Structure 1
Amino acid sequence: MDNRAGSGTPREAGKKLWKAEAKSVFNLISIVITGFFVGLLAEILYPGPVDLGFVKTVLLGIGGSIVAGVFASWRSGSTFGEGVNRAGCLASVLGALLLIWLGRHW
């Protein structure tokens, strides 16, 4: 048995693993919910009909958030991999609107 500082029982290791997995699941759920609302706002604000289902609306919102995050990283001079750059809800909706426009015109 290893008695070094910081080593725990298998039960403690299992609890830490479960907490990490639960956090990942909750992050995924929050990404889907946020993506849905951003995509829904973009559909409402875009002039003209935008007929997308639930999955495409979520992907549109997530894509809009990514576009806004990349743009914000580019403007700030940091790389996209340097931590999380939260561009904000408005910028995400603008990114989703840009994706709708690009999809319609290209």
Structure 2
Amino acid sequence: MFWTVVGWIVFGLVAGFIARAIVPGKDDIGILRTIILGVVGSVVGGLIFGLLTVGLRGFQPAGWIGSIIGAVIVLVVYNQVTGRKRNRA
């Protein structure tokens, strides 16, 4: 159980950092939010992958690529909702 939680934290941290590197601009969200971003992104990626392939089977995590794609989606939505990174014209 303990190592499962540690694994999710590390997985979320790596996926979150990669998503932050992919999305243009600077993100000042900190390590805790980066971990949450990666973990939520993994769930979102799992849902999207499930819908596109075998149908919805509930909340299940995705692999690395699905987690990163999900984390990018979550980060873009987060930036839109919080008003961060708005382009000034």
**Fold shared by both chains (TM-score > 0.5):** yes
Quick check: 1:79 aligned with 2:57?
yes
Tell me, in whole angstroms, the C-alpha distance in 1 between the residues paired with 2:61 and 2:28.
Answer: 28
Structure with the bigger RCO (C-alpha within 8 Å, sep 6+) is 2
- Structure with greater Cα Rg: 1
Matched residues, number: 80
* SS of 2:62 mapped into structure 1: coil
CA RMSD of aligned residues (A): 1.5
**Amino acid aligned to 1:43:** R
- Residue 59 in 1 paired to residue 30 in 2? no
Where do residues 1-106 of structure 1 align in structure 2 (5 Å cutoff)? 24-75=1-52, 76-80=54-58, 85-106=60-81
Q: Provide the rounded CA distance (Å) in 2 between the counterparts of 1:95 and 1:25.
A: 25
Runs of 4+ in 1 over 6 A off after TM superposition: none
Q: Percent identity?
A: 25
Structure 1: gaps of 5 or more residues: 1-23
Per-residue deviation at 1:87? Answer: 2.4
Cα displacement (A) at 1:78: 4.4
